[in-house]
């Protein structure tokens, strides 16, 4: 018997309440999360401008020393340019750009002369396309005033945050969801697992929980990989050999993306069952836009869920 997956008659009302719950959070807290990230990003942009002498000295040696400034530099141009557009305009290696932006490094196997040549091309493109309405000192031939630099940094930070607005909101929502789950569990006598206290998720002491825990699964009968699980909870009354409860915290601000990604949980539960058998569970902690199509798909896979607006349903999972 399920907790919510078999209560089809309640789905419509729960969907409406969940949408209202998410929208209320978004209106009251999402702008602050975005602003806080923008303030932090502005500081990083100011540091990057300092490293490039306020875009007046984008030498290859500077880019080699500070490869992580590249995403910021792409937002300084008019118009801002995407990663692939920079690669095409400068005629440089995609591997160089991806290493600088993702790994924060210069490709270790790239020959030094070739690194310098390609970084020179990057510098030329950025300097040529730098937005004169933002970096007003470029046309004057100086390095700008303190006020001009801060204003320019804020604009670039806003561009950077706008490009990753959805992840910013999603991360803030996930942190809030896990905080709500933690508070609910602690009131009922559960405690967070200490670092190094358990060798793996199967050896967690009774009455403990952990967030963002890696659970190993075996693929194709031989290759082992880790599945990141948002919440792992070992019940107080667990017996030797019992599995902890596994929960994924999911939030969504529209119905479209949830239906695009609904297979992700199905793949995880299938991998877990193939590795540990049918007694292991993998359930969801939901907030936001999850319609009947999504819920029906997950229910068919044997996945149950707790709505955040009715968090006390956690008790029905044996906590």
**Distance, first Cα to last Cα, the chain:** 16
Q: What would the pLDDT profile of 5-34 be if each residue is shown by its tens digit? A: 999 999 999 999 999 999 888 888 877 877
Rounded average pLDDT over 114-123: 94
Q: Considering only CA atoms, which of 175, 177, 176, 182 is closest in space to residue 209?
A: 182
Q: Return the pLDDT at 44.
A: 84
Q: Return the pLDDT at 164.
A: 66
3-class DSSP state of 164: coil
Q: Which domains does the chain have, with CATH numbers?
A: 8-30+170-317 (3.40.1350.10), 31-165 (no CATH)
The values of phi and psi at residue 196, to 5°, are: 80, 5
Q: Return the pLDDT at 136.
A: 87
Q: Which of 33-37, 162-166, 216-220 has the lowest mean pLDDT?
A: 162-166
Q: Which of 54-58, 107-111, 118-122, 226-230 has the lowest mean pLDDT?
A: 54-58
Q: Which of 44-48, 188-192, 303-307 has the lowest mean pLDDT?
A: 44-48
Higher pLDDT, 229 or 163: 229
Question: In the predicted model, what is the mean pLDDT of the chain?
Answer: 90
Q: Return the pLDDT at 275.
A: 93
Q: Are residues 88 and 74 in contact, defined by beta-carbon separation less than 8 angstroms?
A: no
Q: How far apart are CA 284 and CA 268, in angstroms?
A: 12
3-class DSSP state of 12: helix
Residue 64: is its pLDDT beyond 70? yes
Rounded average pLDDT over 275-294: 94
Q: How far apart are CA 162 and CA 152, in angstroms?
A: 15
Q: How far apart are CA 164 and CA 179, in angstroms?
A: 23
Higher pLDDT, 238 or 253: 238
- Neighbour tally for 93: CB within 10 Å: 15
Q: Return the pLDDT at 305.
A: 97
Q: Which run of H or E residues covers position 218? A: strand 208-219
Q: Return the pLDDT at 295.
A: 95
Q: Return the pLDDT at 2.
A: 87
Q: Return the pLDDT at 54.
A: 86
280 phi-psi bin (left φ>0, alpha ψ -120 to 50, beta other): beta
Q: What would the pLDDT profile of 176-220 be if each residue is shown by its tens digit? A: 999 999 999 999 999 999 988 988 999 999 999 999 999 999 887
Contacts of 218 (CB under 8 A, 6+ apart): 224, 274, 275
For residue 79, say if its preceding peptide bond is cis, omega within 30 degrees of 0: yes
Q: Return the pLDDT at 231.
A: 96
3-class DSSP state of 236: coil
Confidence of residue 253 (pLDDT cuts 50, 70, 90): confident
Q: Are strands 208-219 and 191-192 parallel, antiparallel or unpaired?
A: parallel
Q: At what angle do helices 165-187 and 8-51 cross, to 10 degrees?
A: 120
Higher pLDDT, 134 or 259: 134
> Is residue 317 classed exposed, middle or buried when 0-12, 13-18 and 19+ CB atoms within 10 A define those classes?
middle
């Amino acid at each position: 018997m399920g907790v919510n997956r078999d209560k089809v008659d309640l789905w419509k009302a729960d969907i409406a309440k969940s949408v209202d719950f998410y929208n209320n959070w978004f209106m009251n807290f999402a702008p602050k999360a975005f602003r806080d990230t923008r303030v932090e990003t502005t500081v990083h942009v100011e540091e990057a401008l300092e490293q490039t002498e306020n875009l007046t000295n984008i030498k290859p040696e500077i880019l080699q020393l500070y490869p992580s400034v590249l995403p910021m530099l792409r937002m300084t141009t008019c118009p801002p340019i995407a990663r692939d557009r920079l690669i095409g305009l400068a005629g440089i290696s995609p591997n160089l750009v991806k290493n600088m932006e993702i790994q924060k490094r210069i490709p270790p196997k790239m020959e030094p002369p070739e690194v310098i040549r390609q970084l020179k091309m990057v510098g030329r493109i950025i300097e040529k396309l730098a937005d004169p309405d933002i970096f007003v000192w470029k046309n004057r031939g100086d390095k700008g005033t303190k006020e001009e630099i801060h204003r320019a940094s804020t604009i670039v930070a806003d561009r950077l945050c706008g490009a990753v607005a959805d992840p910013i909101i999603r991360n803030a929502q996930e942190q809030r969801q896990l905080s709500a789950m933690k508070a609910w569990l602690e009131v009922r006598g559960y405690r967070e697992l200490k670092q190094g206290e358990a060798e793996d998720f199967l050896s967690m002491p009774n009455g403990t929980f952990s967030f963002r825990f890696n659970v190993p699964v075996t693929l194709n009968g031989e290759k082992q990989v880790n599945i990141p699980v948002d919440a792992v909870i070992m019940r107080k009354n667990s017996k030797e050999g019992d599995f902890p409860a596994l929960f994924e915290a999911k939030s969504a601000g529209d119905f479209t993306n949830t239906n695009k990604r609904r297979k992700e949980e199905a793949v995880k539960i299938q991998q877990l069952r193939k590795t540990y058998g049918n007694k292991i569970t993998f359930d969801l902690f939901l907030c936001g836009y999850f319609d009947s199509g999504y819920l029906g798909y997950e229910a068919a896979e044997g996945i149950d869920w707790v709505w955040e607006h009715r968090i006390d349903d956690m008790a029905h999972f044996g906590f």
